[in-house]
Structure 1
Amino acid sequence: MNWKPFSAFLQNVFIPLITVTIAAMVAILNFSVSNLDRELKEQVAAVDIAIKEARDERERINAEREFNFKIYDLVQLSLEEKNERKQEVAKQFVLVMVDGELRSRLLGVLEAGGTPMIKQETAKIIAKEKEFQIEEDSNLRTDRSVKPTFDWEDWDYDIFWCTTSGASAKEQAEFIKQQLEMEGAKGRVRVRVRELFSSVNARSGYKISGYAIRRSENEIVQANALETLAENVLLEKGYPAVFKQQLTSQKTRWYISAFVCP
């Protein structure tokens, strides 16, 4: 047997081919390992972020719980001492700093056990907030299942004015309502001017100051139209105003609210 051609084949073809194949396999393996390493690092980073967020949320909840206990102690101490000044301070803390069920309960405690003046003031606040909440709930229950055309009359409007801004704010809100009605706005249910009580505006989710329009994500065109109308009519009446639009998470289709709180 002639080994020379076979030897030449091994040296010139087979061995180089094996070498290239091995090199390619090593490259592929390195690439796969690199991708796996990157994916593992990304997963570890995601877990670290999740742990940090959970820790931050836990710390926030603990801090909020501790703060609420302090407010509760403040209310209880003011009632035990029958100190009207401390009860007033406690009431203001509850109005500004506490939300949800605890807020309602603490106001109820002050109404039940406070001095005559505190009882009277707290009862008024509770009554006003209940009235306001009933009207807000009616917005959520209103049937707006049929999409309207782009006309003023097909939308519902609430023009709020802040109690703290006084009669001037109420007058401006009335000007906006009147102009809407002059241009044909009737509302699918209503067009209203409403008072935004101080205790309500102190709650998270409100805290309105200045001029604002609240809308859903798909109500940009309508909000722009209301913004232009409101700014023009107030300017004509001697109230130069600039309205800022804010997104709301409330699911109230074809309903927009404006706020006059200068």
Structure 2
Amino acid sequence: MSISKIALLTGGSRGLGKDMALKLAQQGIDVILTYRSQQAEAEGVVAEIKALGQQAVALPLNTANLSTFAAFFSQVSTVLASTFSTDRFDFLINNAGTSLISPIAEMTEAQFDDMLNVHFKGVYFLTQRALPLLRDGGRILNISSGSTRSSFVGVSAYAAMKGAVEVFTRYLALELGPRGIAANVVAPGGVFGGGAMPDTPEMRAYVGQLAALGRTAEPDDIGGVVAFLCTGAARWVNGQRLEVSGGVML
């Protein structure tokens, strides 16, 4: 019987992260998922993963609070040993995030710093902390956004941080290549419920007509792509940005 590989997924309690976690489990991958405040929802995802025959654990983590990262990874090490009987995991998926709608003229420094800490600084240093526990030959997947290619009023800070993550990912691919670790970006677009756009009927109609496929995305449209990039079929994909937007603003 083969030993399951393990993914560490941030922001896995709901929305896109929940679907990613379940799609990973369907591929036979065990999951350590994090949540910021929705413990009950996170434990619900754990139960669904276990029902699929895989192991899962939910841990609290605020990815904007870098001072907690050392203690968090100490907890990850403990969980790896006690639950998974190993000292390494195979896939790091930086998904946790939040949204902000603000025109440039109205952006405050505090709002900007929130976006910086959650979407770039947190991703950078969480990844740095994860590297000693990430198995050679593993994968790093950073979740970006279609808004780094197509511009929308009010999402300048969010998109700028996601753009920084995309550049960071290419450098990860370059520097971690000697360890056999691939790093890629998945950039969802046209997604509501946790993304950068306000979820209103008017916005859904607007975005739906921008997509070549004529609709907005559902979480189920995204998770399978993330899971695919954790399979052997994607072993030669490295340093790439894969947009999953249904063809928005082609």
> Which TM-score tier does this pair reach, normalised by the shorter chain?
under 0.3
Question: TM (normalized to structure 1)?
Answer: 0.25
**Max Rg structure:** 1
Q: Which protein has the bigger helix share?
A: 1
Name the structure, 1 or 2, with higher relative contact order (CA <8 Å, separation 6+).
2
Q: Give the structure-2-normalised TM-score.
A: 0.26
